A and B are shown apart, each in its own frame.
Chain A
Amino acid sequence: MSSNDIPKEKFLISRQLDGAFSSLYRTLGFIGRFFKEAIRPPYEFNEIIRQCYDVGYKSLALICLTAFITGLVFTKQSRPSLAEFGATSWLPSLVAIAIIKALAPLVTALICAGKVGSNIGAELGSMKVSEQIEAMEVSATNPFKFLVVSRILATTFMIPILVFFFGGIGLYGSYVDVHMNENTSFILFFEAAFEKISFADIYVSIIKAVVFGFTIGTVGCVQGYKASQGTVGVGRAANAAVVVSMFLIFIEEIIIVQIANAIRAI
């Protein structure tokens, strides 16, 4: 069969598949290089700390505000349904399960994908198209280690910490509503909240947070590092950093929950 006999659409599918596989191959290569560079000294401690400050501290206010409102609103919305069964005393444990097992890692990751991921994509993309990354390379600095490793480590370390803040502040938001309605004490609320939470739940949330953090950092860096075509490319990199991160976060959430449930069932 000559190439003329093959319908045009088949070429299109083949090209798209080729593109997808070569993109996957490049991304895996990028991740492999990250581990290689992260292990090998010298370590960029100062840059890692600076990035941790940017990722963690600068996102803290937004995370805390979102967490407080989420906890408060979730409790308010859940109360009428539980009140129908006279089960408002279950509110603390219901909210704790929702926040600690699902909302804290997921919402924190989605906020950080938007705030931190887009920032990383745009910053590295802008450095790439204005030759700043090449300038670093020719001045004998390893730009991958300096720019990429530090950012991925920062998101991987800081997002779990932000998840803790989200969990704590979210539960406090819930407590405020419960206290206003049922006059429950702080200690009683938290005793009831953690009654149904095991260490395994917390471990799973931490694992999720680490995976999400790594994903946000990696996707932002991959998109920024491959940016081209001037300012259009920078915009695309920032946009793709958010969209791809969010997509992967949802997929990872499903996979981790399935694995965790399967392990518990054993």
Chain B
Amino acid sequence: MEQQTNPNPNEPVISLRGVTKTFGTNQVLCGVDLDVMKGQNVVVLGRSGTGKSVLIKIISGMLMADSGTVRVLGQDIASLTDRQLRALRLKIGFSFQSSALYDSMTVKENLEFPLVRNKRHLTRKEIRSATLEVLDAVGLSQTLNQLPSELSGGQRKRIGIARTLILQPEIMLYDEPTAGLDPITSTEINGLIRQVQEQFNTSAIIITHDLACAKSTGDKIAILLDGKFYRQGTFNEVFNDKDERIQGFYDYNFMQ
């Protein structure tokens, strides 16, 4: 599959400055700053309900920030028209926590759907070849004609990732990729996230509260606490910190 190239490698592919978001009276994000560089995997760690998923929904343009700037691949999300936003979304892959496979369609139809809708010039042969390529990349070539209901949780996650890869995104957003999976399947998914980064040269934000996932997939860790990034750095930099709240998070995870 053709790999994407960033026109300016020194510029962050995702840049957030002072992003806030409030739902009713609940301020979820209170001035978030974050940079994701080309080819970098950034893990956003935080407890449930701290606004991690809201953050990636803002980056993908599904939600709008109340204030602050969100730049993705050099474009300010807030200033884009619907058409421009759709064009940008072709470069962003979003892997949902629930996999969000279309349950009335087979795996093949699920994978073909984004291509058929967005790359209308492709022939049937090219679509089939791209489908087989991404299925092979996630190691599930044998599931082509199965329905999502016939797949295991791990397989559904993999197909969900394959569906996003078929559009050759430059950025991947993973929402809780290992949630609800057993440790062995979680390790396989972590491996797949790394494989996607290397094979497709993607940058990624991985939302999780699973430290094992964070350690094996993240080049940079950002801990979201009270609506802000409390610490950012490599896994060792962040967790060698003796700060009580960071250690509390670490201990809690390993006690689990």
Contacts and interface: CB of A to CB of B under 8 A. Distances in A.
Interface of A: 126-127, 130-132, 134-135, 137-142, 146
B100 A134 contact: yes
Contacts, number: 53
Interface of B: 60, 62, 86-87, 89-90, 92, 94, 96-98, 100-103, 113-114, 117-118, 163-164, 167
A152 to B, nearest CB: 19
A140 B100 contact: no
A132 to B, nearest CB: 5
B118 A134 contact: no
B98 A140 contact: no
A1 B18 CA distance: 41
B114 to A, nearest CB: 4
Contacts of A126: 103
Among A131, A134, A135, A139: residue with most chain B CB under 10 A: A139
The 6 nearest A-B residue pairs measured at CB: A135-B100, A131-B100, A138-B94, A139-B114, A140-B89, A140-B86
A10 to B, nearest CB: 22
Contacts of B118: 139-141
Nearest to A127: B102
A141 B117 contact: yes
Nearest to A46: B116
Given A139-B118, A140-B114, 20 more contacts: A126-B103, A130-B98, A130-B100, A130-B103, A134-B96, A134-B100, A135-B96, A135-B102, A137-B62, A138-B60, A138-B62, A138-B92, A139-B114, A139-B164, A140-B86, A140-B87, A140-B89, A140-B167, A141-B114, A141-B118
Nearest to B89: A140
A131 to B, nearest CB: 4
Contact of A134 (B62, B86, B92, B164): B62
27 contacts: A126-B103, A127-B102, A130-B98, A130-B100, A131-B96, A131-B97, A131-B98, A131-B100, A132-B102, A134-B96, A135-B100, A135-B163, A138-B62, A138-B94, A139-B89, A139-B94, A139-B117, A139-B118, A139-B164, A139-B167, A140-B87, A140-B117, A140-B118, A140-B167, A141-B113, A141-B118, A142-B86
A127 B148 CA distance: 13
Contacts of B60: 138
Contacts of B87: 140
Nearest to B85: A140
Nearest to A141: B117
A15 B90 CA distance: 42
A106 B15 CA distance: 57
Contacts of B92: 138
Contacts of A138: 60, 62, 89, 92, 94
Nearest to B164: A139
Nearest to A137: B62
Contacts of B114: 139-141
Nearest to B56: A138
Contacts of A132: 100-103
Contacts of B117: 139-141, 146
Contacts of A146: 117
